[in-house]
Amino acid sequence: MKLSLSEISKNFPSNVGTKDANIFIQEITTDSRKKVSKGMFVPIIGDQFDGHNFIKDAINNGAIASFWQENKEVPTFIPNDFPLFFVKDTVEGLQRLSKFYLHKINPIVIGITGSNGKTTTKDLVFSVLQKKFKTHKTQGNFNNHIGLPLTILSMAENTEVIILEMGMSNFGEISLLSELSNPDYAIITNIGESHIEFLGSRAGIAKAKLEIIDGLKTNGKIFVDGDEPLLSSIEKDFSVLRAGFNSDNDLLISNVKFENDHHYFTVNGNQFELSLLGRHNVKNASYAIALALELAVPMEEIKEGLANIELTGMRLERMIGKNEALIINDAYNSSPTSMKAAIETIKDYQQYERKVLVLGDMYELGPNEEELHRSVADVINEPITDVIAIGEKGKWIVDEIRGRGIPVHVYSFLRKEEALPFITEILSPEVVLLFKASRGAKLESLVNELKQQ
């Protein structure tokens, strides 16, 4: 980024210190410990901390300006010429600054939300669009009311397209992010059960995800999961394109085949190759295809982008484990919907004699959490051979498998450490293992112990 102190002062007229138009802010940071070059510090106030207390560290690490909450006393050690921009709330100030910068750069804005697949879809869209445009995307999980503004403020001045992932746990959160970013295009990947504890039902989740249209430009377009009945009607008058496997979709996915760790499929008569696991990721790829066609990306560049995708970590990430076993690390997060989709993916690995599921607890599922965990058994059948459950909630999956008499080997451990020796013992070149659970379960610690060093 590049914003002059003069530009910032015009947007935040309550300030002290220099307003030199020839001094430019090049980074925004909320972490006083981070080394920055010509940075501007945003002191966040949290439940257990107050960023204002760390302004000296921020200055020592390269901050040359800062927001400052107007009711906070300014320390005497801050030089008189050091720029402070006074705001009622520093997070709101950060959001206002990002909105100004977004308007200044004026890229095409793409907003992506959904219960599952947001990050993968973001990576797919980026991989395809970067072939034609200077493209910027959300890094990591910077997808909330602080992360999204930071993503906007980190884009280069020559950015032509910005891809913004939008996360949420309650009503109103996606609406805020949409109003901040005013997308030209929006994608809702699917409706699952994530955060159902706070939103009451899948219908409530759909309502919250549809808030992405609150800031959509009047000539904007929204791409949705056309196989999801809860997205069959969108109240506001926007152009809607539906993608999916059902025959009435605008983008019809067909002829899906899995060979040599790649998916091959057809969308409206055009054949594509996807270097990703999971039939659900074929649908995520269809959103990227639809968007690329809207933006006149040549078909050959679309195909090349999909065939050479680089994913954010722990999303169906393949690695070789000890004793040459294949490990699929999908431990970043989980809901029943995404866990079932990942399980279906493992079934495609026909060359492995033993297909092992290592499944952990899923959180924020509300009063029906036991029923939702047990529902995972719906997709556990041949060729799955073993299920290893970890945690008190994960045990419900094993209990359901036993209750139904499903012919797979089942094991249950309360703690990851208890499971490690058992899993290590079964590793061999004939074994593929899937690791899947909510983020809080931290199954990646098991993966790190089991992967080939």
pLDDT at 100: 98
Q: How many Cβ atoms are within 10 Å of 281's Cβ, its own excluded?
A: 23
Rounded to an integer, what is the distance from CA 142 to the centroid of its chain?
8
Which residues make Cβ contacts (< 8 Å) with residue 293, sequence separation at least 6? 302
Task: Give mean pLDDT, residues 56-75.
Answer: 97
Write down the pTM of the prediction: 0.86
Domains detected in the chain? 3-88 (3.40.1390.10), 107-307 (3.40.1190.10), 317-450 (3.90.190.20)
Task: Reply yes or no on whether the pLDDT at 40 is more than 90.
Answer: yes
How do strand 161-165 and strand 108-113 relate by DSSP bridges? parallel
Cα(39)–Cα(24) distance, rounded to whole angstroms? Answer: 9
Which residues make Cβ contacts (< 8 Å) with residue 322, sequence separation at least 6? 424, 427, 450, 451, 452
Q: Helix (H) and strand (E) counts for the chain? A: 15, 22
What is the per-residue DSSP string for 66-101? EEEETTSPPPTTS-TTS-EEEES-HHHHHHHHHHHH
pLDDT at 397: 98
Task: Reply yes or no on whether the pLDDT at 140 is more than 90.
Answer: no
Cα(175)–Cα(141) distance, rounded to whole angstroms? Answer: 18
pLDDT at 235: 65
pLDDT at 405: 97
pLDDT at 22: 94
Mean pLDDT across the chain, nearest whole number? 94
User: Residue 400: phi, psi to the nearest 5?
Assistant: -70, -40
Closest CA to 153 of 84, 99, 111, 108: 99
Classify burial at 141, counting beta carbons within 10 Å of its beta carbon; exposed 0-12, middle 13-18, buried 19 or more: middle
Task: Reply yes or no on whether the pLDDT at 313 is more than 80.
Answer: no
Q: pLDDT of 181-230, one tens digit each?
A: 999 999 999 998 888 888 889 999 999 999 999 999 999 999 999 999 99
pLDDT at 309: 86
Q: pLDDT of 254-297, one tens digit each?
A: 999 988 888 999 999 999 999 888 889 999 999 999 999 999 99
pLDDT at 236: 61
Task: Reply yes or no on whether the pLDDT at 163 is more than 80.
Answer: yes
Q: pLDDT of 387-432, one tens digit each?
A: 999 999 999 999 999 999 999 999 999 999 999 999 999 999 999 9
Task: Reply yes or no on whether the pLDDT at 433 is more than 70.
Answer: yes
First to last CA, the chain: 39
